[in-house]
Homo-oligomer: A and B are copies of this chain.
């Protein structure tokens, strides 16, 4: 196919924040536009279509301060192929290796976004599954690592009976000899089903299917068969496209929570990597997650309130046809902070409390009920969004 016939003329745009002196910004932007496409000396390109259409076009220059700029670079949608891996590559592949460049935003024309189904459920679909509409959803994790499948199932039963909406595996549970995947998932799913029969509720169990490449699908389908209500996945460990594949699988059709393991470095420094909104919001939605777990401010990690707001924006702001998804603040949240969290995140979030549910006496069911009651009360107090 002749190149010009293959190009629709539609382009997608990435915004990069670049740290450099004003005298260098034009060249730095041009370097990125080349690095992310032809990776070749522009002067040696003889085909005018490559020169004029394949190479990124520096569309906007916006100065933040004397040594920081925002640059918008557009790329032909065809450069990204029809593949999430290649879209990520054009957005931030080699540029990731350049100091002082941060991907802070991207925008896709509908023709490109349409290649991605995105979240199958999104936040509204998850609410429908759970039949909970008026308060934040409540999530907890099965832990600690080292417990047997049987012991985790007993925990799952109590957590479900206590009123949790979603019970996920701790992301450190994979397929260890002391707690094999299939035994754990079968027993935990059965325990949650038993609790649901007793309570009349719809608690969903999300086992962790982050796994070797060839095992991901197998485990996900085993989980579905065993009665799991969703899946937990770590795209930082196993790839955003493996997440997309799970989300797109019509024979699974399960909601998915995305966990940030191994991705922290990507957002930690404001002069590099990928902004929180893009990494935990836009990319997870593009890959089809229905909720994005992130470490909220005030816990064991160091995200600021502003960075958490950015995650929320990425999870919920309009993004082509892609459904809004739940921000899932976690990482050391506690019952005593429920009011504060609901005031901050509003009703449209999923609160994740793990260890602290065990820190208020030995009656886990009662502790969960307290979490439910605190959240319901906080949601009532919370002004409508």
Contact = CB atoms under 8 A, between A and B. Distances in A.
A292 interface: no
B39 A172 contact: yes
Nearest to A31: B300
B239 A144 contact: no
Contact of A211 (B85, B148, B176, B274): B85
Nearest to A210: B85
B269 A54 contact: no
A301 interface: yes
A213 B216 contact: yes
A109 interface: no
A49 B146 contact: yes
Integer count of this chain's copies in the complex? 2
Contacts of A44: 355, 358-359
A261 B97 CA distance: 8
A344 B273 CA distance: 30
A296 B89 CA distance: 20
A90 interface: yes
**Which of A49, A269, A274 has the most CB atoms of chain B within a 10 A radius of its CB?**
A269
Contacts of A1: 148, 177-178
A354 B40 contact: yes
A3 B177 CA distance: 9
Contacts of A85: 174, 210-212, 234, 237-238
8 contacts: A1-B177, A3-B146, A41-B355, A54-B145, A83-B174, A84-B212, A92-B262, A94-B261
Given A88-B237, A210-B89, A37 B172 contact: yes
A305 interface: no
Given A1-B178, A39-B172, A93-B262, 19 more contacts: A6-B176, A39-B170, A41-B359, A45-B144, A49-B146, A50-B145, A79-B172, A85-B210, A85-B234, A89-B262, A93-B171, A96-B263, A97-B260, A97-B268, A97-B331, A212-B244, A213-B213, A239-B242, A265-B273
